[in-house]
């Protein structure tokens, strides 16, 4: 894949997600942007997203070491990790969209964009 094709794919991904993630509907879901985990007692989309976090984190019985939220979106999933991990152990959030990461300003120490042919965006450290 050449550079321009890669860049146009990145733009298409960002357009698709960014269009959905800066809406009142996304805010009503607590900033989560996933389908969540629904069961008979789930009352809202936000609750379903929190359920999904709980189910995934149950796979890690001991919450040790450092955890990385790849594809962190606007940080709802990363923030949820702070219920289980100390901020210094939630090392970084990574996302392809700089717009989403920029929305985290004030919540994390620094948003930075690295470009070395591949676009990589990340949050340096989370604040509580
Ligand atoms: C389904 S959303 C999940 C966001 C967040 N984790 C949540 O549950 O609210 C998927 C996220 O992946 C990001 N993404 C898509 N492709 C990516 C890639 N190649 N590298 C990093 N992030 C990517 C999108 O920008 C979007 O924020």
Q: Give the pTM.
A: 0.86
Q: What are phi and psi of 61, to 5 degrees?
A: -60, -35
Tell me the CA–centroid distance for residue 101 and ligand 1, in Å.
11
Closest alpha carbon to 78 in 48, 61, 45, 100: 100
pLDDT band at 54 (very low <50, low <70, confident <90, very high): very high
In a domain, 128, yes or no: no
**What residue's CA is closest to ligand 1, atom 19?**
96
Question: Does some domain include residue 34?
Answer: yes
pLDDT tens digits, 55-73: 999 999 999 998 888 898 9
Mean pLDDT of 76-94: 83
**Residue of minimum CA distance from atom 12 in ligand 1:** 71
Domain count, the chain: 1
pLDDT greater at residue 114 or residue 77 = 77
**Which pLDDT band holds residue 117 (cuts at 50, 70, 90)?**
very low
Q: For 13-17, 88-92, 111-115, which range has the lowest pLDDT when averaged over its residues?
A: 111-115
CA–CA gap between residue 115 and residue 110 (Å, rounded) = 16
- Cα of 95 vs centre of ligand 1, distance in Å, is 6
Q: What is the pLDDT of residue 128?
A: 47
Query: Strand pairing of 67-70 and 90-95?
Result: parallel
With 80 as the cut, is the pLDDT of residue 38 above it? Answer: yes
Q: What angle do CA 12, 24, 82 make, to 5 degrees?
A: 85
Q: Which residues form the domain of 30?
A: 3-123
Asked whether residue 29 is domain-assigned, the answer is: yes
Within a domain: 87 = yes
Mean pLDDT, rounded, of the chain: 84
Q: What is the pLDDT of residues 6-27, one digit of tens each?
A: 889 999 999 999 999 999 999 9
């Amino acid at each position: 894949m050449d550079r321009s094709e890669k860049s146009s794919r990145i733009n298409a991904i960002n357009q698709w997600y960014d269009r959905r993630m800066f809406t009142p509907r996304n805010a009503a879901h607590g900033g989560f942007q996933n389908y969540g985990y629904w069961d008979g007692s789930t009352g809202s989309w936000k609750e379903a997203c929190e359920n999904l976090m709980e189910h995934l984190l149950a796979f890690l019985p001991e919450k040790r070491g450092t955890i990385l939220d790849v594809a962190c979106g606007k940080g709802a999933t990363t923030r949820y990790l702070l219920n289980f991990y100390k901020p210094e152990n939630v090392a970084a959030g990574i996302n392809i969209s700089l717009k989403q990461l920029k929305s985290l300003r004030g919540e994390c120490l620094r948003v930075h964009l690295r470009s070395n042919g591949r676009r990589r965006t990340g949050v340096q450290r989370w604040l509580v």
